[in-house]
């Protein structure tokens, strides 16, 4: 067998594996009832305690991650990647998950993990702090006075204060309807 044929076979094998992993990552069946986002919206309060959530957890995206096919008697892993709308919800869920340790759902054990290392998080915080340090700041006593002066200067042209002339009012009724 020549080298080109070997590489072609290996390429085909890798393409099939990639396609299999991608297809399995898209499946949304089982306990999730076909809608992973709806399932996870109820999952977090159910597992972590509904009293810990004042409002519904908003999830932007959720999908299975790519993982190797289980072999033999190995139970399939259901690793999910979830993008929450509010960062505060993410922190709350991770903190509650960490505090609880082992999470149980319908007899199955699970765990939660951050999507970034401590080093990456510290790097992001450092970059944000560096941006904030460069931002020029003004005392409120000065800016509040400037804002008041600007508002007073614009008051003569403000339609909410002055009103809108009838001929320029876009919401004025064009015609009436008389019922006899």
Q: Is the pLDDT of residue 146 over 80?
A: yes
Position 165 confidence tier, pLDDT thresholds 50, 70, 90: confident
Q: Is the pLDDT of residue 77 over 80?
A: no
Contact 31, 39 (CB under 8 A): yes
- End-to-end alpha-carbon separation of the chain, Å? 96
Over residues 142-171, the mean pLDDT reads 85
For the whole model, what pTM was predicted?
A: 0.48
Position 130 confidence tier, pLDDT thresholds 50, 70, 90: very high
Domain regions of the chain by residue span: 3-67+77-116
Position 74 confidence tier, pLDDT thresholds 50, 70, 90: low
Q: Is the pLDDT of residue 32 over 60?
A: no
């Amino acid at each position: 067998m020549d080298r080109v044929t070997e590489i072609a076979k290996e390429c085909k094998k890798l393409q099939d594996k990639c396609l299999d992993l991608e297809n399995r990552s898209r499946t949304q069946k089982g306990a999730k009832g076909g809608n992973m986002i709806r399932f996870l919206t109820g999952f977090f309060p159910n597992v972590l305690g509904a009293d810990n959530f004042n409002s519904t957890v908003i999830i932007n995206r959720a999908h299975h991650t790519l993982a190797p096919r289980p072999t033999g008697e190995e139970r399939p892993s259901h690793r999910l990647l979830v993008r929450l709308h509010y960062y505060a919800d993410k922190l709350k869920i991770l903190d509650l998950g960490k505090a609880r340790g082992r999470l149980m759902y319908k007899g199955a054990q699970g765990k939660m993990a951050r999507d970034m290392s401590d080093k990456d998080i510290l790097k992001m915080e450092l970059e944000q702090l560096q941006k904030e340090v460069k931002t020029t700041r003004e005392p409120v006593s000065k800016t509040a006075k400037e804002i008041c002066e600007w508002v007073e200067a614009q008051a003569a042209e403000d339609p909410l204060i002055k009103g809108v002339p009838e001929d320029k009012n876009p919401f004025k009724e064009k015609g009436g309807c008389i019922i006899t």
